[in-house]
Amino acid sequence: MTGLMHAVYLALKTLPCGVSRAWPQAAQGLPAAAFSLLDWQGGSQGPARAQVRVSLRAVLPEEADELAGHAANALEPLGLRLANAKDDAEADTGVFLKNLAFEGTLWDGLPGKLRFSLLDAGAWVPLEGLVSAAFTPGERPIRDTRPLSAKGPVYTPGEISPETLHLTAGANPLDPGQRLLSQAFQAGTPVSWRLMGGAFTQEGTGLIKTLSDNALAFAASLIITP
């Protein structure tokens, strides 16, 4: 977790105010920011998830709002997204307080931003605004094909249903990556894809199985092909 908090500090120290972990060791002028580990959940079968709290103190609410935007922009490259925010005030001083919670996935203890792209005319085109990427495992059904004379089960493997990659992104009709996925879905043509930011860079080919492209969100599912 030390690597996570160090990465957060390096990102937040670009803010136009004093930055400290948990609480300052000495009195700080306003505005000021403090960050702390809000939650950490170890993944029993995958990567860990973490939440980081960023508390902003300012004289004016508008000043804290501006700092909140700076903090979100600073942590976004780490794959830490704003999960919730709350306005408050310090009881003893009356100073305006804005508490932010950011969450993200950890790989070997460090936050990582997932990046998905498609190969088009020899160049990788990113899918901008990626919110989530997840795999549904491939399956091979196992059937009991025992004859009546058999004393026990006789298992026979069926055909494999391939792994599926599910993507969601912020709606953006001008994004080239979203347009490429939509075109491949309409044409029924395979795509070459690359996913970066996880435990390793993964590349493959796939067919677009489902696609939702509307004013609220963009989502697509790719069947992974050999």
Q: Look at the alpha carbons of 205, 211, 213, 218 in this order and tell me if their dihedral is positive or negative.
A: negative
Q: Using the structure block, give the residue that is written with the tokens 């803010």.
A: 15
**pLDDT for position 1:** 59
**pLDDT for position 45:** 57
Whether 148 contacts 137, CB under 8 Å: no
pLDDT in tens, the chain (226 residues): 578 999 999 999 999 999 999 876 667 789 999 999 999 987 655 678 899 999 999 999 999 999 999 999 999 999 899 999 999 988 888 899 999 999 988 887 788 889 999 999 999 999 999 988 999 999 999 999 998 888 899 999 999 999 999 999 999 999 999 999 999 999 999 999 999 988 889 999 999 999 999 999 999 999 999 8
Four-way CATH pick for 115-225: 2.30.29, 3.40.50, 1.10.8, 2.40.30? 2.40.30
**pLDDT for position 3:** 87
Rounded Cα distance, 79 and 122, in Å: 27
Type of residue numbered 48: A
Whether 208 contacts 191, CB under 8 Å: yes
Rounded Cα distance, 184 and 181, in Å: 5
**pLDDT for position 29:** 87
Query: Three-class SS of residue 128?
Result: coil
Rounded Cα distance, 208 and 68, in Å: 37
CATH fold, domain 2-111, is: STM4215-like (3.30.2000)
Query: How far apart, in Å, do the first and last CA atoms of the chain sit?
Result: 37
**pLDDT for position 22:** 85
Give domain limits for the chain.
Answer: 2-111, 115-225
Helical ranges in the chain per DSSP H: 2-12, 61-75, 176-187
**What's the pTM?**
0.73
**pLDDT for position 46:** 64
> In terms of C-beta density within 10 A (0-12 exposed, 13-18 middle, 19 or more buried), how is residue 172 classed?
middle
**pLDDT for position 150:** 86
The backbone region for 178, taken as left when phi is positive above 0, alpha when psi lies in -120 to 50, beta otherwise, is alpha
Helical ranges in 126-214 per DSSP H: 176-187
